[in-house]
Amino acid sequence: MSDWYFASLLVTAGVCLGFALHALDLACQARGRSYVHLLALSVLEGAYCLVTYRYLSETSPARALRWGQSISAFTPYITYVFGALTFTLTERRPRWLVMGQKLNLALTTLFAGGVVLDMIFQREIMVRSFLLTDLATEHRHRLLFTPLGTAYLLWVAIAFTCFAAQLFTDPQARRESAPIAVGCGLYFTATVLDFGIFVGLRDGYFFQHMGFFALVLSCWRVLGRRLERSILAQEEAVVRLEEQRQKLLLAAPVMHKQKLDSLGTLAAGVAHEINNPIHGILNYAQIMKRGLPQDTPERTFAEEIEREAKRVAEIVRNLLRFGRADESHAIAADVREIVNDTLVLLRGPLRKDMITLDVHVEDDLPELISRIQQLQQILMNLITNARDALNRRSPERTDAKTIIVSVKRLPSKAGWVRFEVVDNGDGFEAEIADRVFDPFFTTKPVGEGTGLGLSISHGIARAHGGTLSCESERGLGTAFRVDLPCTPPGITPVDSHDADEGTRTMTRTPKDSGANELGSSLD
């Protein structure tokens, strides 16, 4: 026999074993039965090539017979595995074909068992106990089958034909009919040629290994195309999910802006509605003061009425400006006033929760060019989060609940200021600190937080050319630091007198001012 023929056996065996390793990897990843069947088909084809190589290279008829019987013991299972692979490749499973597959497994097992008995006990149940050997021929050895063994070979041909027909008629497999047609056609051709050698009709090389290889290759082609389509479908699904995620991320700030706009509209309506009553209260207070002598209880009461009415007006104006944060202009503002105007809205809730608020603002801080309402939004978010953390801290803690708000120059950077909000709550781990600025991330119970406050605050700080950072330690508390330049790059300030009335810097009404001045500031 030619060296190229033996080389074809070894090369085919190596390729099939490579297919088997790949199928094993896919079977472990995809958990699909089709790859398990493909693994078995590749292993059987590789084993067939290796054993056939030993069978045809053997010159002793006795030893060649053993190798030939070994081939007959496991090769028939290739048809069974092909049938199982057919079921995984098709949408339909006709009952008659399922019964045929069960019968095929039973007959194949009986045939293989008969061959094994022939090998052990020198019987002739399926295979004759001798070979027709002629080393001058191209096929060298010719294995002889008993009538029972020949009948089984005919059954194998019928079973394979049924499985191939199922593949060609199935709607799903019909899309890959080209590789299936080529593989089945080559397999049938090799089977017919080899059958001619077995019955003595021709002399030539055995090509069954090429038929089996074509069958394996066609199944690989079909499964490969399906795997590619599955991967593309998964990638498209991932792209669609990412688009949906981006839409949700974009929708959250939009919804937040809509809420702020609604809050601004509500605050403007409230300011308009209470403007006249406050105007009247202040007028009456002024009349009472003019008609009362100094150092009398009645005059003290009138001054108290005037002071409290001004405080109500101040709260309303702060609420109005906070609700219109996105419409604000960048102006040069006093840092102390930014802090004080924010705390006007928060001192009451903190006092109710028995939280001590310590405020430390350095003297002679430079003016900060900023959108005041946005900075107030940052401070309000940080102080509100600190309040929630203190209200949820461990009941074993007996020390006073405290929030420290401080503003000072940043020593490491000239022209920068640092706002710092520190609480003595329970704190959290470093892993959480790395995620606190992610959108929708929150440690609050369901329904008590959206996970957007810190994310929006972080964006505002960056828009002002600064940073928002966090430092926390479990059991000790949390500190948030906002570092801002006094003159942010890319932000042009406007004169405070030209700014929109709803976004002006809060100026406190002097104690002796009249009611008309306050009324004009609320219109």
Question: What's residue 437's pLDDT?
Answer: 78
What pLDDT shows up at residue 423? Answer: 92
Pairwise CA distance, residues 370 & 373, whole Å: 9
Task: Give the residue ranges of DSSP H helices in 137-176.
Answer: 147-169, 171-174
Residues paired with 371 in a beta bridge: 330
Rounded to an integer, what distance in angstroms lies between the CA atom of residue 457 and that of residue 490? 19
Angle value at C-alpha 46, between 45 and 51, nearest 5 degrees? 100
How many other C-beta atoms are found inside a 10 Å radius of the C-beta of residue 210? 19
Q: Which pLDDT tens digit goes with each residue over 122-158?
A: 888 998 888 887 767 766 777 888 999 989 988 988 8
Residues 32, 34: Cα–Cα separation, whole Å: 5
Angle, nearest 10°, between helix axes 95-121 and 61-74?
Answer: 160
pLDDT tens, position by position, 264-302: 666 667 666 776 687 788 788 878 888 788 888 888 888
Q: What is the secondary structure of 182-227 as a DSSP string? A: HHHHHHHHHHHHHHHHHTTS------HHHHHHHHHHHHHHHHHHHH
DSSP 401: P
- Give the angle subtended at the CA of 439 by the CAs of 459 and 254, to the nearest 5°: 70
Which residues lie across from 469 on neighbouring strands?
481
Provide the CA 221 distance to its chain's centre, in angstroms: 31
Q: Is the pTM of this model over 0.85?
A: no
pLDDT at residue number 4: 86
- Domain annotation for the chain: domains and CATH numbers: 3-230 (1.20.1070), 329-499 (3.30.565.10)
Residue 511: per-residue pLDDT: 36
Query: In whole angstroms, what is the distance from residue 326 CA to residue 133 CA?
Result: 96
Per-residue burial over 77-89, b if 16 or more Cβ lie within 10 Å, else e, is: bbbbbbbbbbbeb
Q: Give the pLDDT confidence score for residue 367 in this predicted structure.
A: 87
Q: Can you give the C-alpha Rg of the chain in angstroms?
A: 44
Name residues of the chain where pLDDT drops below 50. 325-327, 499-523
**Residue 147 region, left (φ>0) first, then alpha (ψ -120 to 50), else beta?**
alpha
